[in-house]
Amino acid sequence: MSVPRILVVDDQAINVQLLRLKLEREGMQVLTAPSGREALAQATNARPDLILMDLLMPDMDGLTACRQLKADPATRDIPVIFLTASPSKEHRQEGRAAGAADYLVKPIDLDETMARVRLHLRLARLEREATELVPRLDETRRGALVGAAAQGVTHHLNNLLGVVLGYVELVRTFSDDPEKVRRYIQNVDDSLQKVIQLVRHLSTVAARARPVQTPATVGCLLAGAVARFHADHRPDAPVTVETDCPDLAVPTHREAIEDALARVLANGWEAYPVDAPERPLRLEARKLARPDGSELVEFRALDRGRGVNPDIQDRVFEPFLGTKDQPASGLGLTIARHAIRALGGEIAVNPQPGGGTVAVLTHPLTPRTRPS
């Protein structure tokens, strides 16, 4: 992740210095400007991720600078937080009308300032990801699974955004209590992290709605799946791999199948208690023949974790499914099934004799000729 770049705009050198020290101590890059006019030039050239700007300055005040920033397509999406010595409602309304995202009353509390900065950086990133996702979802709006997943996502997003808005309102109500502000901002941050994760999941579904198939050997697919699991989930988790057909060529979308296998491995890892001394995982592949004479490759991911709760056995692929004793799994299995079905295969998740789970993914050895 890139280092956030913050532009601090204030004609008082001591204010700039205090903010610079705090922001840099928190790992952020700081740019400075002593007036609104210089802030416009810096914003255009450097494209900061966020601007902290004094409301009253010579040459060009913060309100004028903010209006011009919001009028320029190149800078209008940069969040602006006003720094003002006046707590009046009129100044707050003027700032909102000019396009400011937030305001802080001087003398500023540096910890509160950091909390607000982090919040608005998160919000800006979420908005960018959502904007990028819209055209991709539009392209795949006819995909049945995307529609089904979107229903669950919509419900979950509404709940999370309701939480965010509730805490934002509490922040406004108790803005004079730094301890409450910090606590509420942390809650907002936690909720936004979940929202961002859901947006990324949806992006994955949209990106793989129409996979292009090219040959890849079973051995390469297994190795790639384990590498992806290690990179995306658990770099230190041991996985035993076994196959009797490593050189068998499979017509597939390599990234999609590796990602699906990595997701079921991640589910297997998370099925163990967090304090389990060992978490054995196994990934197998073999070639099979159907009764009609067609051939397929079967992948099996096995664990010895808590197993599948009987209450949700028939619904394990539903988005955000969970029970009182088994937390919701998000979209991992939903996305895995989408990828496999788009390639003409199928996936099932069943309990193992003696405990644990086996996820069985089948993939035809004849290329799929029509879209899912």
More confident residue, 136 or 288: 288
- Of residues 259 and 298, more confidence is placed in 298
- pLDDT, position 145: 45
Nearest alpha carbon to residue 161 among 192, 204, 123, 189: 192
How would residue 135 be classed by pLDDT, with cut points 50, 70 and 90?
low
Q: What average pLDDT does the structure give for the chain?
A: 80
pLDDT of residue 372: 41
pLDDT exceeds cutoff 60 at 181: yes
Q: Is the dihedral of CA 350, 352, 353, 356 positive or negative?
A: negative
The whole-number pLDDT of residue 193 equals 73
Band of the pLDDT at 112, cuts 50, 70, 90?
A: confident
Position 204 confidence tier, pLDDT thresholds 50, 70, 90: low
- What Cα–Cα distance (Å) separates residue 308 from each residue in 13, 62, 368? 61, 58, 31
Written as six digits, the tokens of 137 are 């979802």
- What is the percentage of the chain residues whose pLDDT exceeds 70? 77
Asked if pLDDT for residue 12 goes beyond 70, the answer is yes
- More confident position, 140 or 279: 279
What's the pLDDT at 241?
97
Which of 49-53, 160-164, 190-194, 363-367 has maximum average pLDDT? 49-53
- Please report the pLDDT score of residue 317 as a whole number: 67
Q: Write down the pTM of the prediction.
A: 0.48
As assigned by CATH, the class of the 214-364 domain is: alpha beta
Q: Tell me which H or E stretch contains 230.
A: helix 218-232
**Element containing residue 300 per DSSP (H, E):** strand 295-303
CA dihedral 108, 111, 112, 117 (to 10 degrees): 100
* One-character DSSP codes across 165-213: HHHHHHHHHTTT-HHHHHHHHHHHHHHHHHHHHHHHHHHHHHHTSSPPP
What is the distance between the alpha carbons of residues 344 and 362, in angstroms, rounded to a whole number?
9
Average pLDDT of the residues in 179-194 = 76
pLDDT value of residue 107: 85
| Across 346-358, average pLDDT | 90
Lowest mean pLDDT among 4-18, 118-132, 135-149, 169-183: 135-149
Whether residue 138 has pLDDT greater than 80: no
The CATH code of domain 5-108 reads 3.40.50.2300
pLDDT band at 368 (very low <50, low <70, confident <90, very high): low
- Pairing state between β 50-54 and 249-252: unpaired
Q: What is the pLDDT of residue 88?
A: 67
CA 188 – CA 32 distance, rounded (Å): 28
Q: Which residues of 273-288 are buried (b: 16+ CB within 10 A; e: fewer)?
A: eeeeeebbbbbbbeee
User: Mean pLDDT lowest for which of 9-18, 54-63, 315-324, 336-345?
Assistant: 315-324
The whole-number pLDDT of residue 326 equals 45
Query: At residue 207, does pLDDT exceed 70?
Result: no
